[in-house]
Amino acid sequence: MKNRTRIKICGLTREADVLAAVEAGADAIGFVFYAKSARYVSPARAAELAQLLPPFVTPVGLFVNASAAELEAGLRALPNMLLQFHGDETPQDCARPGRPYMRAARMEPGFDLVDYAQQHSAAQAILLDAHVEGYGGGGKVFDWSLIPKNLGSPLVLSGGLHAGNVLAGITQLRPWAVDVSSGVEAQGRGLKCAKLMREFCEAVAQADALAASSPEI
């Protein structure tokens, strides 16, 4: 049995939501540095929010086709963050900052995830999201059968996850981590719900307990 499934809650914009996410059990908190997103925060605002994070909860910065200046501004504000590239970045673009990163893959029929993961072999993990118009998964679940077995890279499952389906995702796919955003929002994009975050983290823990007791699942 692998270690427990890690939890990233993404797109936080408010102090109360950061504190509630940590209390719920999040391992990582995502800040969106893509200006066209409704969940966008500036580097300065992200730095304010990250001050609330206790030790061992990782800040993650989500970038979409960012310029070198935008990446530099983000890293100055949050020098200890993990980078997450969600646009059309090449492996060379991702490696250029010289920092640990995750690479998002936009899943759809015909997409060669094996080749993609090999191209991005330097990534700490491959984050799997739905392919929708624009960037990000749009709260949509993709067809999990598109994921090949034994990919060789740590996988972060994303795309339309919520407390009602994350147990199935974990027991079926055994990802290294799960990533949730819209699935823990009740009032609008960027406005998280403490109850939904708690229920999501509880469902992840339930999935891990089920997998531990039934390793053949």
Active site residues: 10, 129
Tokens of 47: 């730095």
SS (H, E, C) 193-207: CHHHHHHHHHHHHHH
Element (H, E) at 32: strand 28-32
Element (H, E) at 126: strand 125-130
Q: Which residue has the tokens 């304010």?
A: 48
Partners of residue 70 on adjacent β-strands: none
Count of other CB atoms within 10 angstroms of residue 198: 17
